[in-house]
Amino acid sequence: MPKNHCPLCHANKFNYYKAGNDYLLAKCSECGMVWDNNPPANPTAIYQEDYYNNDFPKGGYSNYFQGMKINSQTFRKRLLKAEKKLSGQGLLLDVGCALGDCLEQAKDLGWDNPQGLEVSEYAVKFAQSRGLSVYQGDLFDHNLEPNSFDLIMLQDTIEHTTDPIAQLTAAYQLLKPGGWIFITTPNVGGFWQKLLGSLWYHYKPTEHLTYFSLDTIKFALEKSGFSDVESKPTSNLMSLGYILNRLKYYQQILFSFLLSISQFLNLDKLVFNLWIGELEAWGKKS
């Protein structure tokens, strides 16, 4: 069913613009929010085993397992930021925790019983096999107690929902007073989107359903009750092999060749800290 009201301010005034071949998004004329107003009937159906290991030019992961070590470094960096916000550690909930790499890093850093929510049955079983406290569900389907968590993380998760305000409100209810929410998501108002236009990598039909800018993510957090809200561009640690693999989306032959050369020279595992068009946002429960 078409969603012709803005998911943030609920205005029904919007314009369409092209975000790829046969891919139209809506942009709110009032607050600037961008969303897919014709989302799939069952948005979570795609999160099967092949989501984590596939040959899709966009969507999912070409090989999540190859990137786990690098991803873990990014998660560790974010957790250390969170420790500064909290002036220590506390009870952590990672929403959309995938195979549990962030939770593994939290355990390694000494966080007590970090927990995860994940809609993918495959990912939940994988994470549980690693000895992690991960439950199948989302912020609307769980048995967690309100006012329980010191930190809730939504990393590359909120863009997969059609109702971000409901998600953030549910997260707010789970946080203790004084607790923090941390979000990462593609930045639709950022440099790379402006440069690449409809070729921007983060435009993903049927997968990414809401697209935030620095301003709209702040608006969403404030509307959901959070204070001390801030948002800014963020970086990710990525291997050369991963970068070249994803650049194949733009030029298959060239970047496949460069990937082969990097592997032959054993350069594909070089790691770079890159601003790839994402933002991070923080909010506090008063």
Contacts 24+ apart (CB under 8 A), 40-49: 40/206, 43/160, 43/161, 43/162, 43/206, 43/209, 44/119, 44/120, 46/206, 46/207, 47/119, 47/120, 47/122, 47/123, 48/120, 48/122, 49/122
Tell me what pLDDT residue 64 has: 60
In this structure, are residues 208 and 159 in contact, taking their beta carbons and an 8 Å threshold? yes
The whole-number average pLDDT for the span 2-30 is: 92
Nearest Cα neighbor of 143 from 135, 153, 131 is 135
pLDDT in tens, 53-99: 655 544 545 546 565 678 899 999 999 999 999 999 999 999 999 99
The whole-number average pLDDT for the span 167-175 is: 98
Tell me what pLDDT residue 60 has: 47
Q: Has residue 212 got a pLDDT over 60?
A: yes
Tell me what pLDDT residue 286 has: 92
φ, ψ dihedrals at 120, nearest 5°: -80, 120
Q: Has residue 190 got a pLDDT over 70?
A: yes
Rounded percentage of the chain residues whose pLDDT exceeds 90? 76
Rounded percentage of the chain residues whose pLDDT exceeds 70? 94
At 56 the three-state DSSP class reads coil
Q: Has residue 49 got a pLDDT over 90?
A: no
pLDDT in tens, 222-237: 999 999 999 999 999 8
In this structure, are residues 172 and 225 in contact, taking their beta carbons and an 8 Å threshold? yes
Tell me what pLDDT residue 119 has: 95
Q: Has residue 52 got a pLDDT over 60?
A: yes
The pair of three-digit structure tokens given for residue 114, joined into one six-digit string: 């970090």
- Torsion angle (degrees, nearest 10) of CA 255, 24, 96, 61: -20
Q: Has residue 179 got a pLDDT over 70?
A: yes
Angle between helices 214-223 and 164-174 (to 10 degrees): 50
The pair of three-digit structure tokens given for residue 152, joined into one six-digit string: 């809730």
At 166 the three-state DSSP class reads helix
As a three-state string, the secondary structure of 204-242 is: CCCCCCEEECHHHHHHHHHHCCCEEEEEEEEEEEEEHHH
The pair of three-digit structure tokens given for residue 261, joined into one six-digit string: 């050369």
pLDDT in tens, 262-280: 999 999 888 899 898 999 9
pLDDT band at 51 (very low <50, low <70, confident <90, very high): confident
Nearest Cα neighbor of 273 from 232, 230, 235, 231 is 235
